[in-house]
Amino acid sequence: MELTYGRHAVEAMLSHDVSGEMALFFQENRKDERTLQILEQAEHHQIPIHPVSRTVLDEMTDGTRHQGFVLRCANPEPIWQPDHLPHLVDNATEPALLLILDGVQDPHNLGACLRSADGAGAHAVVSPRNRAVGLTPAVRKVASGAAESVPFIQIVNLVRTLDELRAKEVKIVGLASEADQSLYDIDLTGPIALVLGGEEKGLRRLTRENCDHLVRLPMLGATESLNVSVAAGICLYEIRRQRGMPPQKDPIPSLDPDIEDVMQKDVTSENNIPEDAVLKDDVLEDIALENVASENVIPKNDASEDDRLEDIVSGDTALEDVILEDFVLDDAISEDDVLEDVAHEDADSER
* pLDDT higher at 325 or 227: 227
Q: Would you kindly state where each structural domain of the chain is located, as residue ranges?
A: 2-73, 82-243, 257-350
The model's pTM? 0.59
Rounded-to-10 torsion of CA 133, 159, 126, 124: 180
- Provide the pLDDT for residue 75: 63
- The bridge status of strand 69-73 relative to strand 2-5 is antiparallel
Contact call for residues 72 and 23 (beta carbons, < 8 A): yes
Phi and psi, residue 3, nearest 5°: -110, 140
List, in order, residues 6 or more apart from 75 with CB less than 8 Å away. 1, 2
For residues 177-195, give the mean pLDDT.
95
pLDDT over 50 at 26, yes or no: yes
Range list of β-strands (E), 145-202: 152-155, 171-175, 181-182, 192-197
pLDDT over 70 at 164, yes or no: yes
134 annotated binding-site participant:
no
Side-chain half-sphere exposure of 140, counting CA atoms within 13 A: 23
217 annotated binding-site participant:
yes
197 annotated binding-site participant:
yes
| Separation of alpha carbons 44 and 122, rounded Å | 31
The angle, 0 to 180 degrees and rounded to 10, between the axes of the packed helices 315-327 and 305-313 is 100
| Separation of alpha carbons 136 and 187, rounded Å | 35
Neighbours of 157 (CB within 10 A): 13
Would you identify the CATH topology of the domain 82-243? Alpha/beta knot (3.40.1280)
Mean pLDDT, the chain, integer: 76
* pLDDT higher at 154 or 254: 154
pLDDT in tens, 38-66: 888 888 888 888 888 888 888 888 777 88
* pLDDT higher at 249 or 339: 339
Confidence of residue 278 (pLDDT cuts 50, 70, 90): very low
Q: Side chain identity at 185, as an amino acid letter?
A: D
| Separation of alpha carbons 327 and 148, rounded Å | 70
Would you identify the CATH topology of the domain 2-73? 60s Ribosomal Protein L30; Chain: A; (3.30.1330)
Highest average pLDDT, of 6-15, 277-286, 313-322, comes from 6-15
Confidence of residue 108 (pLDDT cuts 50, 70, 90): very high
Count Cβ atoms within 10 A of the Cβ of residue 25 and give its class: 0-12 exposed, 13-18 middle, 19 or more buried: buried
